[in-house]
């Protein structure tokens, strides 16, 4: 294993110097373990840039509080890998695939890297079938496609998370199959409420949940959607299942990418967003698809900043979606929500 040492810490970005000729590959996981003044350090990072002079710039997946220069870093030789398979159902994970529900370790010995190629063209399925949501206004006026990508657009407080929770209850219970929920940069309280509701309804037994909430560093919020998607892909590719993937909120994924991009020193693009916005969105969305083995149907909440649909974040997402539902503020002000 390649070893290096910490030479610079800038919030969620850490520069590590490795031995000449022993640099980690881009996206490799880097581990820092140590003890600083009685405080245990156990930090996982992801290699992002090779800066020259054997320096590698890395993104932290958890807080860098207490980290100091000179600590030893170890290249794990592979990207971040998370547990997949039936043992993940009914459990709650963080971005690294570590259980955070205080229910013990996951028995699964099967892991999968969060960075993967999208399915090839000849593996894709073109079959079109309607997904019944149980919400009359959607099924009648704006029906969703099974195996497609669905966006719930709206500004702050118009009912995106309420709609996601209603769809989880309706579709997951009726669907009776496997669901994965990825909480990306949203409120911890909402995640806690959702876990409680799913436990009461019994849906959680068929659901894997992954959270990287708004109190997490930008690296965790940027990668947590990939962790949830990786778990969903296993059931599609290895077990031939039709999987539901709920993501709340895709805008926070973009927002985290913007924070990381600034910390990495990249030149901002339109409206201050990262220049790699379209690439990052494409790498995530192109993996959410139906193949001849199974399907991943994704329902994504998408925050619209200042109700401006021309903002680059929602505008970039539009191109990848098969169906959209726009939640209007005028309607939500009358107390009318999707139910």
**DSSP strands (E only) in the chain:** 3-10, 13-18, 28-36, 39-52, 55-60, 72-79, 81-83, 92-93, 111-113, 130-131, 144-145, 149-154, 178-184, 207-212, 242-248, 295-303, 323-326
Share of the chain above pLDDT 70, in %: 99
Nearest in space to 102 (alpha carbons), one of 114, 112, 94: 94
**Which residue in the block uniquely carries the two structure tokens 């704006």?**
142
Per-residue pLDDT of 67-82, as tens digits, reads 999 999 999 999 999 9
Q: What pLDDT band is residue 23 in, cutting at 50, 70 and 90? A: very high
Q: Topology of domain 3-79, per CATH?
A: Thrombin, subunit H (2.40.10)
- 41-79 CB burial, b ≥16 within 10 A, e <16: bebbbbbbbeeeeebbbbbbbbebeebeeebebbbeeeb
User: Domain segments of the chain: what residues?
Assistant: 3-79, 82-333
Confidence band (pLDDT; 50, 70, 90) for 176?
low
When the pLDDT of each residue in the chain is averaged and rounded to a whole number, the result is 89
Could you say which of 187, 241, 266, 293 is catalytic?
187
277-292 mean pLDDT: 92
Q: Which of 56, 96, 62, 91 is nearest to 80 (CA)?
A: 96
Tokens for 298, please give them. Answer: 């994704």
Catalytic residue selected from 46, 91, 149, 186:
186
Among 57-61, 70-74, 105-109, the minimum mean pLDDT is found in 105-109
Nearest 10 degrees: CA dihedral of 267, 14, 216, 212? 80
pLDDT, tens digit, 9 for 90 and up, residues 288-329: 988 888 889 899 989 888 888 899 999 999 989 988 888 888
What would the pLDDT profile of 219-273 be if each residue is shown by its tens digit?
999 999 999 999 999 999 998 888 889 998 899 999 999 999 999 989 988 888 9
Of residues 19 and 335, more confidently modeled: 19
DSSP secondary structure of 297-323: EEEEEEE-GGG-TTSHHHHHHHTT-SE
Catalytic residue among 160, 221, 252, 287: 160
Dihedral of alpha carbons 196, 202, 203, 205, sign: positive
Q: Which residues contact 68 (CB under 8 A, 6 or more apart)?
A: 6, 9, 36
What digits encode the pLDDT tens for the residues 118-172?
988 888 887 778 888 888 888 888 888 888 899 988 887 787 777 877 787 777 7
pLDDT for the residue 226:
96
Pairing of strands 3-10, 13-18: antiparallel
The rounded distance, in Å, linking the Cα atoms of 104 and 175 is 28
Site of tokens 């220049």: 275
Q: Which residues contact 163 (CB under 8 A, 6 or more apart)?
A: 152, 301, 325, 327, 337, 338
Contact predicate 327/152, CB 8 Å: yes
Active site residue 236: no
Q: Is 252 a catalytic residue?
A: no
Looking at residue 175, its pLDDT comes to: 65
For residue 233, what is the enclosing H or E element? helix 218-237
Lowest pLDDT segment from 54-63, 186-195, 224-233, 293-302? 186-195
pTM for this predicted structure: 0.91
Neighbours of 130 (CB within 10 A): 10
Strands 13-18 and 28-36: unpaired
Residue 72 DSSP SS3: strand
Mean pLDDT throughout 89-98? 93
For this structure, is 160 an active site residue? yes
For residue 248, how many other CB atoms are within 10 A of its CB?
28
Q: Assign domain 82-333 to its CATH architecture.
A: 3-Layer(aba) Sandwich (3.40)
């Amino acid at each position: 294993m390649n070893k290096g040492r910490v030479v610079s810490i800038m919030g969620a970005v850490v520069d590590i110097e490795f031995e000449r000729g022993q640099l980690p590959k881009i996206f490799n996981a880097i581990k820092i373990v140590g003890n600083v003044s009685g405080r245990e350090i156990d930090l996982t990072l992801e290699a992002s840039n090779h800066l020259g002079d054997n320096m590698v710039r890395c993104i932290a997946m958890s807080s860098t509080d207490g980290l100091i220069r000179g600590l030893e870093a170890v290249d794990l030789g592979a990207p971040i890998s998370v547990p997949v398979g039936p043992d993940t159902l009914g459990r709650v994970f963080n971005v690294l695939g570590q259980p955070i529900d205080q229910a013990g370790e996951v028995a699964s010995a099967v892991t999968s890297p969060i960075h993967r190629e999208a399915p090839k063209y000849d593996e894709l399925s073109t079959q079109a079938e309607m997904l019944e949501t149980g919400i009359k206004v959607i099924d009648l006026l704006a029906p969703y496609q099974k195996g497609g990508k669905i966006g719930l657009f709206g500004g702050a407080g118009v009912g995106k998370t309420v709609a996601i929770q209603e769809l989880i209850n309706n579709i997951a219970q009726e669907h009776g199959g496997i669901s994965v929920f990825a909480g990306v940069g949203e409120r911890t309280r909402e995640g806690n409420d959702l876990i409680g509701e799913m436990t009461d309804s019994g849906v959680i037994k068929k659901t894997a949940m992954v959270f990287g909430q708004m109190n997490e560093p930008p690296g965790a919020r940027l990668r947590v959607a990939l962790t949830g998607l990786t778990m969903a892909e296993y059931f599609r590719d290895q077990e031939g299942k039709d999987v539901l993937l709920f993501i709340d909120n895709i805008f926070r994924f973009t927002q985290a990418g913007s924070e990381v991009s600034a910390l990495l020193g990249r030149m901002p693009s339109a409206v201050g967003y990262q220049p790699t916005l379209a690439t990052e969105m494409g790498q995530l969305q192109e993996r959410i698809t139906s193949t001849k083995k199974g399907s991943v149907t994704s329902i994504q909440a998408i925050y619209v900043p200042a109700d401006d649909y021309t903002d680059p974040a929602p505008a970039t997402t539009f191109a990848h979606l098969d169906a959209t539902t726009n939640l209007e503020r005028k309607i939500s002000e009358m107390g009318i929500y999707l139910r």
